[in-house]
Amino acid sequence: MTTADDAAAPGSRGPFTAAEETAMRAALDAARLGVRGANPVVGAALLGADGTLLHVGHHRGAGTEHAEVDALRQAHEAGTPLHGTTMVVTLEPCRHTGRTGPCAEAILAAGIPRVVYAVADGTETAGGGGAFLAEHGVSVAHGLLEREARELNDRWFLAQRRRRPFVSLKIAQSLDGRVAAADGTSQWITGAPARAEGHALRTRVDAILMGGGTLRLDDPALTARAEDGTPLARQPFRAVMSTRPVPDDARVRRGVAPDAPDDGLFVHLPTHDPHEALAELRSRGVGHVLVEGGPTVSAAFLAEDLVDELWLYQAPVLLGEGAAAVAPLGIGTLADARRWRSDPVGLPGGVPAVGSVGEDCRWHLAPAAPPVIEPPAVPDHHLI
């Protein structure tokens, strides 16, 4: 089947050697060690002219070096000669300068004569590296293990096509699926190790979002903090989705410096429409949003299929009464239930999707039905 992707992608669709396929499998395994969010997970393997797997790199999340650069750095440190090598990468090498430099130029500068990638980047900003390399005389082929590579980042590709941030939802619930006791108290359902994971996630995202209900009941600061309460170095935007005014003395306005007037990270989103909320955050450069409830806002994002990954922590606590984790979604019968699957990509270093964190249980999930694999939107630089 020919897709818009094929029409836009440079180079051939193969044939590929057995060594290239082995290298791509190693690159896919390496990609799974990364974290997904504003950026996809990506792996890159350097293959010697004789088919030997030389170095395998991966991307460790937005702001860190890209997979190809990781592999090239390893080669440099080991003194590996690069003539005759092939760069095998799970995503088309980027050609833009974002938080890091363009991989396509790094590959060209390294004198690598062949590049094999699985799936086109497809974003307006970073796509086009394959064409750039082909124009500069590099042998470029794409489509090797494309389905596997696409599955690894399926919801990330979907978010890109829809021009919205990647959305994570975090829920900390009791054994009986409640996120607060009858009187609204919810601090703390889960234990310290699970909360520490939550703060590590907060520091990786660009914005944390809560609803007006949580603001009014809990007055949270929405900052990323270490276990002893000290602020972590990287702080995200703090967004409140509420049509009512946010009080001047709300902690979410202040962030990590309670006495400072305004750190520029507080955002009031006076809407009940999650699409509108995401569009506003994207206009501020947000690529990854963490929704931290409560149940009304969680349901609003879930109802619109806007949750790309779910971090669900379940504590061995029974409440019997209190708010359910998610407000009604209009599901009347089991056949209409929303099913989720383990997300193979998660915490840095490939921590398992389902596991224990202290006394609690962690589930890292993605919607079970992968999005319909449409061809990626043709990037603007391919439009006439």
Ligand X SMILES: Nc1c(N[C@@H]2O[C@H](COP(=O)(O)O)[C@@H](O)[C@H]2O)[nH]c(=O)[nH]c1=O
- Which residue in the list 20, 68, 105, 197 is annotated as catalytic? 68
Does the protein bind ligand X through residue 42 (CB under 6 A)? Answer: yes
Does the protein bind Zn ion through residue 94 (CB under 5 A)? Answer: yes
Residue that is written with structure tokens 């019968």 in the block: 333
The interface partner of residue 39, options being Zn ion, ligand X, ligand NDP, none and the CB cut-off 5 to 8 Å by kind, is: ligand X
Among positions 85, 160, 223, 242, the unique one binding ligand NDP when judged by CB under 6 A: 242
Nearer to ligand X, 100 or 296 (CB): 100
How many angstroms separate the CA atoms of 224 and 233, rounded?
A: 8
Active site residue 77: no
Does the protein bind ligand NDP through residue 353 (CB under 6 A)? Answer: no
The interface partner of residue 292, options being ligand NDP, ligand X, Zn ion, none and the CB cut-off 5 to 8 Å by kind, is: ligand NDP
Does the protein bind ligand X through residue 100 (CB under 6 A)? Answer: yes
Stretch that binds ligand NDP, among 42-50, 78-86, 222-230, 291-299 (CB under 6 A): 291-299
The interface partner of residue 357, options being ligand NDP, Zn ion, ligand X, none and the CB cut-off 5 to 8 Å by kind, is: none
Positions marked active-site: 68
For ligand X, the binding residues (CB under 6 A) are 39-40, 42, 59, 62, 66-68, 91, 93-94, 98-100, 103, 121, 123, 126
For ligand NDP, the binding residues (CB under 6 A) are 171-172, 179-180, 184, 186, 189, 210-214, 217-218, 241-244, 272, 292-297, 300, 323
